[in-house]
């Protein structure tokens, strides 16, 4: 399920927080940042409009086609021997004390009761310091990540039940509609979302690549802990990517028209910039 208990990991419990802080240092490197448009939108009117647009983007024809592609690929893994064979290979050949320690730390970022308060805090802190560039960007990251979770959570929960796959320790990954509730990894979805949102906020490959790699760590932790199959983790990551992309599409559309103050020689005014 998406929301889990808050039992802290026994080792490297601070790794999760350290990883998040390090990965977000790019927010304070001005040259690495894409233009974030209007920063943090006003609440509630503008944010509500953005959320509705996020949903329209996610459930558009293109969005549903992309979801279908991801589901088809995950289904191919789950309904063949690929999931089981990958699980056996990983558990027998790759799992070690080192991967266990890393998994115990990174898995923490995929817990809803950890990730959501962190993102709310980022959005609030950014709102309080929105006059500064760093504060505006940090707040925009928190606000967009929360919107992506809000857009992606309902279909992720629905797919968890609709697919009906089981955990590795409980049964088969094969799709059996509404027979179980683990067809998609909620941890993978939650843990990937903030990193994908951050990656989409910067045009610099030196930040995009590590952020996208970091977005997969929580899912890998679930595979390491033998709590999800590869197909379930992959589909959770794909849902995060689609949700974050829907938010990014909204922001891109918002940036096409920019209204800014103008100061001619006599008086003041405004200018409208159309970008294409």
| Domain limits, the chain | 15-274
Higher local confidence (pLDDT), 65 or 43: 65
- What's the pLDDT score for residue 29? 56
Q: 238 falls in which pLDDT band (50, 70, 90)?
A: very high
For residue 268, pLDDT over 60 is answered with: no
Question: Which residues lie across from 269 on neighbouring strands?
Answer: 262
Encode pLDDT of 8-44 as tens digits. 444 445 445 555 555 555 554 544 454 444 455 555 6
Contact yes or no for 107/218 (Cβ under 8 A):
yes
CA separation for the pair 137, 198 (Å, rounded): 10
pLDDT the model gives residue 249: 96
Higher pLDDT, 78 or 106: 78
**Given this model, what pLDDT does residue 3 score?**
42
CB neighbourhood size of 164 (10 A): 18
pLDDT of amino acid 41: 59
The number of beta carbons lying within 10 Å of the beta carbon of residue 55 is 17
Token pair for 36: 């974030």
Paired residues of 261 in beta bridges:
270
Q: Is the pLDDT of residue 210 over 60?
A: yes
Query: Mean pLDDT score of the chain, rounded to an integer?
Result: 82
Phi, psi of 270, rounded to the nearest 5 degrees: -140, 155
What is the distance, to the nearest Å, from the Cα of residue 68 to the centroid of all Cα atoms in its chain? 19
Give the DSSP per-residue string, the chain: --S---PPPSSSTTHHHHHHHHHTGGGG-GGGPPP-TT-SPPTTHHHHHHHHHHHHHHTSHHHHHHHHHHHHHHHHHHTSSHHHHHHHHIIIII--HHHHHHHHHHGGGG-HHHHHHHHHHHHHHHHHTTTSHHHHHHHHHHHHHHHHHHHHHHHHHHHHHHH----TTTS--S--TTS-S-SS-HHHHHHHHHHHHHHHT---HHHHHHHHHHTTHHHHHHHHTTSS-HHHHHHHHHHHHHHHHHHHHHHHHHTTEEEEEE--SSS-EEEEEE--
């Amino acid at each position: 399920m998406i929301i889990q208990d808050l039992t802290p990991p026994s080792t490297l419990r601070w790794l999760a927080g350290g990883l998040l802080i390090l990965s977000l240092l790019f927010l304070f490197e001005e040259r690495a940042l894409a233009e974030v448009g209007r920063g943090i939108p006003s609440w509630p009117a503008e944010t509500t409009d953005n959320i509705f647009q996020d949903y329209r983007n996610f459930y558009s024809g293109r969005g549903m086609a992309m979801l279908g592609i991801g589901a088809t690929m995950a289904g191919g893994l789950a309904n063949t021997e690929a999931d089981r064979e990958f699980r056996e290979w990983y558990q027998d050949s790759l799992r070690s004390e080192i991967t266990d320690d890393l998994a115990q730390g990174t898995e923490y970022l995929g817990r809803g009761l950890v990730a959501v308060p962190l993102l709310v805090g980022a959005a609030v802190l950014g709102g309080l310091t929105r006059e500064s560039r760093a504060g505006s960007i940090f707040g925009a990251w928190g606000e967009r990540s929360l919107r992506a979770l809000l857009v992606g959570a309902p279909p992720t929960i629905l797919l968890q039940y609709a697919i009906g796959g089981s955990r590795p320790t409980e049964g088969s990954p094969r799709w059996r509609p509404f027979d179980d509730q683990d067809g998609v990894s909620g941890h993978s979805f939650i843990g990937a979302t903030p990193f994908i949102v951050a990656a989409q906020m910067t045009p610099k490959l030196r930040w995009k690549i590590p952020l996208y790699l970091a977005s997969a760590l929580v899912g890998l932790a679930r595979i390491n802990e033998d709590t999800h199959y590869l197909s379930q983790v992959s589909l959770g990551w794909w849902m995060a990517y689609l949700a974050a992309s829907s938010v990014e599409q909204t922001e891109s559309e918002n940036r096409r028209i920019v209204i800014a103050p103008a100061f001619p020689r006599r008086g003041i005014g405004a200018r409208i910039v159309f970008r294409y």
